[in-house]
Amino acid sequence: MADLLTAPPVPTGNYAYFFDLDGTLAGIKPHPDDVVIPDAVLENLHQLSLMNAGALALISGRSMAELDVLASPYHFPLAGVHGAERRDIHDQLHIVSLPDALISALHAHLSSALDALPGTELEAKGMAFALHYRQAPHHEAAIVALARSLADAHPELALQPGKCVVEIKPEGINKGAAIGAFMAEEPFKGRTPVFFGDDLTDEAGFRVVNQAGGIAVKIGPGDTAAKWRLGSVAGVWQWIDNVANQQQQQIAQHNGRNHYGSLSRRL
């Protein structure tokens, strides 16, 4: 879908909410450690989760440990490393792993290769590796070729391109599969999914949400499978604030009607 700039609706009803982090809930920074989610945004996410029986999860290429730090003091269901690790509403962990020997061999090979490409950075995630070249975009072709050669040599691996990064991860792992796993479980089951993301890594999630008749929202420009778009991270913050406030008002009105009804019956 082309550069559609139609803002998503503010949903009312039985929805489940999924949010990417970098470029969606927080602006992209030169280094991942510089990223912060504002306190007001975290509070709104917490309120949205409470008002929807906990049916809100963060879906990211980051590890779950990083997501917990960024979401602190709140504790949400998570899918980290594009779904290779996942924590459900009951704190049960679902982890996809690679053989230790393969992980060690990949780490050694990638460390050596990236040392020869100044400005690039290797991020080891346990069962996956991110090859960053944001600070050295002229090395993009070399990074892509390196990652492709390893994936071609190991059929249990797959590539996931992103913004100035290529990730090497277990085959069959993506954000769409992670959203599908959540949607098969309570409290997400039976709800309509809503997913916000900004990158190529989010497109699999958009497709799953579209198939479920949900609301898929692309942040920023670029072709996408999403049917809705917001122009910036600030737009996401405002949308979350609008939904949280609207649902709070609906709950207050509902409680008020119930109080009036019970008072009338007593009279």
State how far the Cα of 27 lies from the Cα of 261, in Å rounded to an integer. 47
148 - beta bridge partners? none
**Signed CA dihedral, 238, 244, 246, 248: sign only:** negative
Would you tell me how many other CB atoms lie within 10 Å of the CB of residue 154? Answer: 15
State whether residue 9 is helix, strand or coil. coil
Residue in the structure block whose two tokens are 């490393």: 81
State whether residue 215 is helix, strand or coil. strand
Any residues with CB less than 8 A from the CB of 54 and at least 6 apart, and which?
77, 89, 187
State how far the Cα of 109 lies from the Cα of 192, in Å rounded to an integer. 43
State how far the Cα of 193 lies from the Cα of 172, in Å rounded to an integer. 21
Tokens of 116: 């020869």
Query: Is 68 labeled as catalytic in the residue annotation?
Result: no
DSSP of 35-64:
----HHHHHHHHHHHHHTTT-EEEE-SS-H
Any residues with CB less than 8 A from the CB of 229 and at least 6 apart, and which?
3, 4, 5, 6, 7, 8, 217, 218, 219, 220
Active-site residue identified among 3, 20, 198, 223: 20
DSSP of 174-202:
-HHHHHHHHHTSTTTTTSEEEEEE-SGGG
Catalogue the active-site residues: 20
